Amino acid sequence: MTVTSRASDPPPAHPPGPPPTRPPTRPSSRPSVDAAGLGRRRAAVLVAPALVLVTAFLVVPAVWTVYLGATDYRLTGIQAANPQFVGLENFREALVDPDFRNSLWLTVLFVLGSAIIGQTVAGFALAWTLRGVPKLVRSGIEMLVLLAWILPSSIVAFLWVAYLSGDGGTLNTLLHTPGTEWLLEHPMASIIVFNTWRGTAFSMLLFSAALGAVPPSQLESARLAGAGTFAQLRDVVLPHIRGHVLTNTLLISLWTFNDFSPYLLTAGGPNHASETLPVFIYNKALYGGQLGYGSAISFIMLVINLVIALFYVRLLRERR
Amino acid sequence: MSTSVKTSVGEPATTPATAPRKRPTRAPARTRSVVRHLALVAFLAVVVAFWALPMLWLVTAPFDAHPGLDVSWPDWTLDNFRKLSENPYAFSSLKNSVYLAGGTMLGVTVLAALAAYSLSRVRIPGRNGILYGLLLLSSIVTGTAAMVPIFQLMFQLNLIDDRSGVVLVLTGGLLPAAIFILKDFMDATPKSYEESARVFGARPTQVLRHVVMPIVRPGLATIAVWALVNVWSDFLTAYILLRDPAKIPAGVVMYTFYSEGGQANLPLISAFSLVYALPVVALYLFVNRRYGFRFHGGIKS
């Protein structure tokens, strides 16, 4: 969730990898390998604490899901004290578990609806239209959209619970639909709209930056040649921002896939109707106590994350 | 046909030949631009309504003597904040949030800076592998995907219901991305300052403190703010790792305020959400004024 990351090209005097032969400018006692004179050993000592924490709290848990997912571990009972190795039993169970398949399908809907369609379209539409708008209006709208993105999730969740409430919520007043419990009657639609509202800021920022890189002269000549807005977008803008579209899609899909805030709105209910995978894992493993089964589902999530991340890393390398 | 030839060639007093063809298209063009302008205004109005309407409650309800779930012109009062100050968990939860956010921010910034600097300047064996692994880890092992093993790990380490444990988990989770961003930042800063400092006999620690630190301060600030906002808003990690109501942070208390059965205490909830949101809004305004919320150049993680 980087807000600012400056990836300016390194100055030509200092290419990213040191050249194989350095000019012998420094007659120091030892062949120094770095600018600060740290030396490899001290550098390793400085890197170590970070790596220890990352290993303990990211690598170990990731590996542990593989082991836990192959057991019938439970939070309480006999299996808590003495878990049995069950091999692929949890995965076999998942395949026939209607709740899991339902959850997987809802997650696909959630990512497609709120990230790939909702946030991308809204983010691009905002970035495109706000270019030609007076600066004050532009920064006001950007601030609104950004606030929705950075406010703590439990606050925005409650704001939407209030907004969508059937007991005097603002939306019902506006639409003249008194008493409609949106979160109970249309839970998936509600969390999809909510997440579009919540996350569009990132796509907006990214597309604004991308559109800034489209040469205005090309847009101008397209317009003079009589190209409509759609033709301009397709023939001039899209070729320039294709990479950004892909980056944006991968990142917001990954984040939306791992988003836990549906839990704060509906807790997965009513009756599993909005139980996306993260909520499913929470309800099964930590609320229901089936740690082994929950770990197997977590492992599936990690594999999906890995696939998305590999695409993303490959994309980054190609663009460098 | 002959007349048209005649006018175009022989009579300069009338408008040029192109004009009669241009005029019929101009009027629709003007209406089209009006329509386009109206469409733009309508679109922006919808945008403002969509984003502002859910947020308005946060501005009106805290100051309303009888807040409901809807947005209405408040019956002005500050009484809700007095009620808030009487709630035993509201204040302690904010203190806990400060502890978690401050501790994590410190840990992430310091450890990421040290690691990123070393990785940027020194060719540690396996450097590229480490960086590649960090980049992958930061996107794969998320708090949601790893909540079960993390809970299990903390349970085994006897760190359930321990705030320092939450700080450790959050620090570990944010470090990879922080290292990656900071390394990028440090790669972009010239090495010549450090080299000249060393020529004048500065020791590595002096170089770090007096030469490197001031140069990379904006990068450190970015990471610090990013970590702060992340932890301040965190819900899940604290929710699964802390049990004692006296230890849970504001994000979790907020949830328990409205998810517990019975009538929601709206005066309390509204005042609390505003107090809990204000630091983020203040940080936003500060960052926006100082640096602007823009992506610079290429976009990474």
More confident residue, A283 or B214: A283
Q: Mean pLDDT throughout A285-304?
A: 91
pLDDT at B175 over 90: yes
pLDDT at A42 over 60: yes
Measured CA to CA, the distance from residue B56 to residue B122 in angstroms comes to: 51
Report the candidate in B62, B101, B102 with the shortest Cα–Cα distance to residue B84.
B62
User: Mind listing the pLDDT tens digit for each residue in B212-243?
Assistant: 888 888 889 889 999 999 999 999 999 999 99
Among B56, B150, B212, select the one facing A57 at the smallest CB separation.
B150
Comparing A163-167, B71-75, B89-93, the range with the smallest average pLDDT is B71-75
Q: Mean pLDDT throughout B178-194?
A: 85
Q: DSSP state, B68?
A: -
Full DSSP string of A212-255: HTS-HHHHHHHHHTT--HHHHIIIIIHHHHHHHHHHHHHHHHHH
pLDDT at B1 over 90: no
Three-state secondary structure string covering B147-184:
HHHHHHHHHHCCCCCCHHHHHHHHHHHHHHHHHHHHHH
Q: Mean pLDDT throughout B126-142?
A: 87
ipTM summary value:
0.83
User: Mind listing the pLDDT tens digit for each residue in A206-248?
Assistant: 999 888 888 888 888 888 888 888 888 888 888 888 888 988 9
User: Mind listing the pLDDT tens digit for each residue in B151-172?
Assistant: 989 998 999 999 999 999 999 9
Averaged confidence pLDDT in chain B: 84
Given pLDDT bands bounded at 50, 70 and 90, which one contains residue B14? very low
Amino acid B290: pLDDT = 78
Given pLDDT bands bounded at 50, 70 and 90, which one contains residue A22? very low
Q: Mean pLDDT throughout A48-56?
A: 92
Residues 227-286, chain B, touching A (beta carbon < 8 A): 229-230, 232-233, 235-236, 240, 250-252, 254-255, 258-259, 269, 273, 276-277, 280-281, 284
Domain boundaries, chain B: 14-77, 83-290
Residues 7-46, chain B, touching A (beta carbon < 8 A): 40, 43-44
Given pLDDT bands bounded at 50, 70 and 90, which one contains residue A108? very high
H helices within chain B, ranges in order? 2-10, 18-60, 79-86, 88-121, 127-140, 147-156, 163-187, 192-199, 204-206, 213-233, 236-241, 250-259, 266-290
Amino acid B16: pLDDT = 45
Can you give the pTM of this predicted structure? 0.85
Q: Which backbone phi and psi does A233 adopt, to 5 degrees? A: -60, -45
Amino acid A19: pLDDT = 42
Domain boundaries, chain A: 40-81, 96-319
Amino acid A106: pLDDT = 96
Comparing A285-289, A297-301, B293-297, the range with the smallest average pLDDT is B293-297
Averaged confidence pLDDT in chain A: 85
Chain B positions touching A14 (Cβ under 8 A) are: 190-191
A96-319 adopts what CATH topology? Answer: MetI-like fold (1.10.3720)
Classify domain B83-290 at the CATH class level: mainly alpha
Amino acid B294: pLDDT = 63
Q: Are A232 and A223 in contact (CB under 8 A)?
A: yes
Q: How far is A57 from chain B (nearest CA, A)?
A: 5
